[in-house]
Amino acid sequence: MKLNIVPARTGLTWVKLGITTFIRQPLAMSGLFFMFMAMLSLATLVPFIGAALALALLPAATLGLMAATQEATKGKFPMPSILISAFRAGQQRLRAMMVLGALYAMGFLALMGVSALFDGGQFAKLYLVGGKITEELVLQSGFQVAMWVAMALYLPLSLLFWHAPALVHWHDISPVKSLFFSFMACYKNLGAFIVFGLAWTGVFFLAALVVSLIAGLLGNPMLAAMAMFPVALVIVAMFFTSIYFTFRDSFVATADEAQPTDGSAGPNSFL
């Protein structure tokens, strides 16, 4: 395994590839994304442990979407069974993915526990269990501090787990090592990931602007609120489609594998 350092502009390439791959297989990729959401939603319904179970399943479920994207890049139609790729890769990798899921759940619950120190757990309860969002609650200073603390702590957690499921599944890296390698790959390619995040933010705001303009031209402001929800879901599905490309271009397993996206630098010794 080698780390591949890419220029910042590669972040735009990842976004473009995510969108174009989704457009080539819109039914498959959107359907799999909704199945992904449904699977996690069903997990939350399990009494007592629902939220933790959904968190533990997230790495494996994300890997399933990455595997689906990989199939789509080959011109194949990804079948629903690809979502459970992590559970069909043999006992050793299954155990590793379960460990990774447990680590993610513990990390997420830990950061929520830290945020609870600032507002008595109101934000954590709302996020994990659900409830009614009121203006009074959102305006509370403690709630706002807890929200920002959780967001700040989630950034390093997401970097740790960004590439980890793929490293465990496709390269048989141990869970703990995969976290370290994932973080280092994100850190070394931080410029590309910043561009990647800003580009997706721009896509979302552009879509919201277009929907609002259309609703305004039609003289129906309520249409914007109604239409933006499905549009937002499609954008999120495209975002998840693009995650595979961030992994593909950040690591090189052997010298015989395909080169990274155009304009990226050559691989550096890493693992």
What would the pLDDT profile of 169-219 be if each residue is shown by its tens digit?
Answer: 999 999 999 999 999 999 999 999 999 999 999 999 999 999 989 888 887
Q: Distance (Å, rounded) from C-alpha 158 to C-alpha 170?
A: 19
pTM, to two decimals: 0.88
> How far from the centroid of its chain's Cα atoms is residue 55's Cα?
12
State both tokens at 12.
């735009």
pLDDT for 249 equals: 96
pLDDT for 254 equals: 61
Inform me whether the pLDDT recorded for 52 exceeds 90.
Answer: yes
Inform me whether the pLDDT recorded for 147 exceeds 50.
Answer: yes
pLDDT for 178 equals: 96
More confident residue, 258 or 135: 135
Q: Distance (Å, rounded) from C-alpha 220 to C-alpha 207?
A: 17
| Amino acid symbol at 86 | A
Q: Distance (Å, rounded) from C-alpha 52 to C-alpha 58?
A: 10
Q: Residue 246 class from Cβ within 10 Å (0-12 exposed, 13-18 middle, 19+ buried)?
A: buried
Q: Which of 234, 243, 246 is nearest to 29 (CA)?
A: 234
pLDDT digits (tens, 9 = 90+) for 55-70: 999 999 999 999 999 9
Mean pLDDT for the chain overall: 90
**Percentage above 70 pLDDT, the chain:** 93
Inform me whether the pLDDT recorded for 100 exceeds 90.
Answer: yes
